[in-house]
Amino acid sequence: MSNPTPLPASDPVHAVFESYAPELRSGLLALRDLILETAEATEGVGAIEETLKWNQPSYLTSETNSGSTVRVAPAAKGSKADYAMFFICNTNLVDSFETMFGDTFTYEGNRALLFNLGDEIPRDELRECVAMALTYHLG
């Protein structure tokens, strides 16, 4: 698997990542890398558009329209988590993840998987979640 393309310093998404504290940025960039690697390895997804939605790094399947938007950002204020991967809440994605993976993840309603700094991310399971999101409209 190739390393994801670094963002040019002039890119607005780069500026948002740079605005985060270094340890939080590291966790969020790890999620970014996993999303881009999964997209590259998942049939039918095509090129990913990396943009900002709600001033959060967001990943869209604009080329193929195969999937649902995935966002990464710090967890909401008051959350017991540090950062999160967000999904569109009117999909059944997070419910499906919870059915498949149970307590492997911490969930926030029907919209997010939550993570804490220093925790081991279950990469294989998270790749499956991301692949499901990026192919949501193909099923």
Place of tokens 């939080």: 24
Measured CA to CA, the distance from residue 53 to residue 59 in angstroms comes to 9
User: In whole angstroms, how far apart are CA 24 and each of 102, 135, 138?
Assistant: 25, 28, 33
Break the chain into its structural domains and give their ranges.
12-134
- The residues that bridge with 49 in the sheet, in sequence order, are 60
Task: Give pLDDT tens digits for 51-109.
Answer: 999 999 999 999 999 999 999 999 988 889 999 999 999 999 999 999 999 999 999 99
Amino acid in the structure at residue 33 = D
Task: Give pLDDT tens digits for 38-51.
Answer: 999 999 999 999 99
What is the value of pTM for the model shown?
0.92
pLDDT band at 9 (very low <50, low <70, confident <90, very high): low
Rounded to the nearest 10 degrees, what angle do helices 123-134 and 22-41 cross at?
60
In the CATH hierarchy, which fold is given to the domain comprising 12-134? Aspartate Aminotransferase, domain 1 (3.90.1150)
